[in-house]
Amino acid sequence: MANAFWCIVEDDRQGLPKKVMAEVIGEASRVSGGHAEAVWLTDKATDAGLAQLGAWGATRVWLLEHATFAPYRSEVWVGALADLTAKESPKAIFGAVTSRQRELVARLAARLGVGLAADCIAFAMDGDRLVATRPVYAGKILAKVTWAKGPWVATLRPNVFRPAESQPGRTAAIEKPATAPPAAVMKFVERREEASTGLPELAEAEIVISGGRGMKGPENYVILEEMGRVIGAAVGASRAAVDAGWRPHRFQIGQTGRTISPKLYLGFGVSGAIQHLAGMRTSKVIVAVNKDAEAPIFKIADYGIVADLFEVVPELTKEFKKLLEK
Partner 1 sequence: MKILVAIKQVPDTATQVKIGADPRAIDTAGITWIVSPYDEFAVEEGLRIKEKRGQGEVVAVSLGPERVKEALRSCLAMGCDRAIHLNDPAWNDADTLATARALAAVVKQEQPQLLLCGRQAIDDDMGAVTAQLAELLGWPCAYWIMEETVDADGKSARVARQVEGGLEIFDIPLPAVLAAQKGLNEPRYPTLKGIMGAKKKELKDVKAGDLGLAAEPPQLSVVGLEALPPRAAGRIIQGDVPTAAKELVRALREDAKAI
Q: How far is the CB of 265 from partner 1 (least distance, A)?
A: 9
Cα–Cα distance measured from residue 269 to residue 256, given in angstroms and rounded to the nearest whole number: 19
Q: How far is the CB of 143 from partner 1 (least distance, A)?
A: 5
Cα four-point dihedral sign 317, 321, 324, 326: negative
Are the CB atoms for 273 and 258 separated by under 8 Å?
A: no
Looking at 39, 55, 286, 295, which residue binds partner 1 (CB under 8 A)? 286
Q: How far is the CB of 33 from partner 1 (least distance, A)?
A: 22
Looking at 66, 91, 102, 229, which residue binds partner 1 (CB under 8 A)? 102
Q: How far is the CB of 289 from partner 1 (least distance, A)?
A: 9
Q: How far is the CB of 34 from partner 1 (least distance, A)?
A: 26
Q: How far is the CB of 193 from partner 1 (least distance, A)?
A: 5
Q: What is the 3-state secondary structure (H, E, C) of 251-314?
A: HEECCCCECCCCCEEEEECCCCCHHHHHHHCCCCEEEEEECCCCCCHHHHCCEEEECCHHHHHH
Candidates 40-48, 49-57, 161-169, 279-287: pick the segment binding partner 1 (CB under 8 A): 279-287
Cβ nearer to partner 1, comparing 176 with 299: 299
Site map (CB under 8 A) of partner 1, residues 200-219, x = contact: -x-x---x------------
Cβ nearer to partner 1, comparing 154 with 172: 154
Q: At what angle do helices 309-325 and 221-231 cross, to 10 degrees?
A: 20
Looking at 1, 48, 65, 71, which residue binds partner 1 (CB under 8 A)? 71
* Beta carbons within 10 angstroms of residue 55's beta carbon: 19
Looking at 24, 55, 88, 107, which residue binds partner 1 (CB under 8 A)? 107
Q: Output DSSP code: residue 17.
A: B
Subset of 170-189 contacting partner 1 (CB under 8 A)? 185-189
Site map (CB under 8 A) of partner 1, residues 117-156, x = contact: xxx-----------x--xxxxxxxxxxxxxxxx-------
Return the C-alpha torsion angle 193, 197, 199, 205, nearest 10: -60
Return the C-alpha torsion angle 292, 293, 298, 299, nearest 10: -120
Strands 116-120 and 173-175: unpaired
